[in-house]
Amino acid sequence: MSKQTHSFQAEVAQLLHLVTHSLYSNPEIFLRELISNASDACDKLRFEALNDAGLYEDAPNLEVRVSFDKEAKTLTITDNGIGMSTQEAIDHLGTIAKSGTKDFMGKLSGDQKADAQLIGQFGVGFYSGFIVADKITVESRRAGMKPEEGVRWISGGTGDFEVESITRAARGTSVILHLRDDAEEFLNAWKLKQVIGKYSDHISLPILMEKEEWKESEKEGEPGAMVKTGEWETVNKASALWTRPKKDITDEQYQEFYKAISHDYENPLTWSHNRVEGNTEYTQLLYIPAKAPFDLYQRDKHAGIKLYVKRVFIMDDAESLMPSYLRFVKGVIDSADLPLNVSRELLQESRDVRLIRDGSVKRVLSMLEDLAKHDKHEAGAQADGVTDVVSEEDKAKEGKYTQFYAEFGAVLKEGLGEDFGNRERIAKLLRFASTTSDTPSVSFADYKARMKEGQEAIYYITADTLAAAKNSPQLEVFKKKGIEVLLMTDRVDEWALNYLQDFDGTPLQSVAKGAVDLGKLQDEAEKKAAEEAAEAFKPVLAKLKEALKDKAEDVRATTRLVDSPACLVVQDGGMSTQLARLLKQAGQKAPDAKPVLEVNPEHALVKKLDGSVHFHDLAHILFDQALLAEGGLPEDPAAYVKRVNALLA
């Protein structure tokens, strides 16, 4: 094929502009990205060769080589992995192939740390080479193709790239970086070894560099120089990090491995490294990130678990190994029992996979419980004024669960509906704001410990915002009696709590569902007064029911209101008006069930109803104001305004 010129996909051109303007705050990251890509190419060859050993050709030992040429100012990363055909070079190096490209570009902000994380997450780390190079040449041949079917790809990182056919004897890929003048520090063996040791020591393939030795100058008075010997040496440990004993791995190595597999720029919050033996044998190295990725709430997003079988890479994003509600977990699972030719379909049916999944979920929940315990220790010590002797390891965990929950708490709640077997453990990990705390720091156990004598339920309310929850009319009697109510403002809350009827034997009760019944917390005098007021109010209630028959399922007197004239509730077991609103906003069909209007017979506005010539208008205003108070909107806002204005006039 003669030389052809192609234009970059528009998003790639925009991305390259950002990269060449120092997108990465740490330029040496480019070497990590390119070595990671080379390692992935070798993993792909190893996987494809399970069904076709001929792909190894005459080079069965997979490796990555890093070399440099000071005179030509080039740095080359070569692998003998799967390689690329001409069309693959055009497709893979000229476009961002992953879905969600527009979302990706929309997230780029110019913030170097944040944008660097996004680039890695979208698998476009190849373009990081333009941080240090003003031109990149890629030469490649796909395993199994003829030598004359090689391809050369060249670009200066602007609007286009050139592609031509070449003859390449060796399979695999060479990425040749033509370094800019300000990047000549990477033409130094010591510098390259230092960067490889920092970022890529965990790569299970050998990373080779040519040995150098000092040679004195033959001319008197001239300095000597380092010269290459022609021998190659391995400059990384070349053993998968998770296969090494824990005692031999430093925290820094664990953290760098996490960054390499997750493309995150920050250190993880915590991690767990274990070898599991029993009915099935596997090694797990699982991480909990410190920050949520931008696509956390895309439920079709795959989990971040890489699957290996006997140290052979099988697949990225093995969703069968981690449930959706733990999709934020990153890591590696290496099984000793699964077949090497395992497919995604087989993963879904395998008994061994189910055991691995169950064990991994339990491990993640244990990690979270450990973090929560140390948060609890910190809070308890502050409250009691007690200073315990705390280890440095324990100190490092203090406050981390609060940090975790702020990022991932809403996703963890999905587990109530997805993971029946671990529902109780998940419930203990949940935190909420309440009428005594604006921050989501109250657990169900905390709430139970503070329940009033005679209180028989855990009370909660769901709302769109914390302000709407705190100021809801439904809370008035609870505030009056000093009864704590949990304030739930995540969209997932009401759906999730459908799957949790009680906590540790105490029922959960929404204050916006059913008639309020405070049981033993309400004295006999209060009950008698309420019954008498309701009896005297019956004629007005009958008229209200008639006036609002198209809007309200029922109208009844209530004792839950203190300062407000009315509020809306739904029947026990019914869908709340808030959840119905959320479903409609998401374009989904919600039940047409009408709410119940509860009115406060002692309120001045309600007392005015009896005998008022504006009864019909006042009735509708009461209903619409109750709807507004909980964050809804009247069906006919113009009619509501007209009624209010008429009464004001």
Binding residue ranges: 33, 37, 79, 84, 98-100, 121-126, 173, 344
- The H or E element spanning position 153 is strand 150-155
What are 6's strand-pairing partners?
161
Residues 6 or more apart in contact with residue 168 via CB below 8 angstroms: 139, 140, 141, 147, 150
- 407 touches 433 (CB < 8 A): no
The DSSP result for 254-320, as a single string, is: HHHHHHHHH--SS--SEEEEEEE-SSS-EEEEEEE-SS--TTTT-TTSPPEEEEEETTEEEESS-GG
Q: Annotated binding residues for ATP, as ranges?
A: 33, 37, 79, 84, 98-100, 121-126, 173, 344
CA-closest candidate to residue 472, choices 457, 458, 486, 492: 486
End-to-end alpha carbon distance in the chain: 84
Residue 495 CA from chain centroid, whole number: 19
Classified as helix, coil or strand, 635 is: coil
Residue 581 CA from chain centroid, whole number: 25
The phi and psi torsions of 49 (rounded to 5 degrees) equal -75, -10
- The H or E element spanning position 368 is helix 351-384
Instruction: Determine the Cα–Cα distance for residues 469 and 433; give it in Å rounded to an integer.
Output: 10
Sheet order of strands, 312-315 included: 270-276, 282-288, 330-335, 304-309, 312-315
- 402 touches 441 (CB < 8 A): yes
Residues 6 or more apart in contact with residue 611 via CB below 8 angstroms: none
- Amino acid sitting at position 530: A
Classified as helix, coil or strand, 77 is: strand
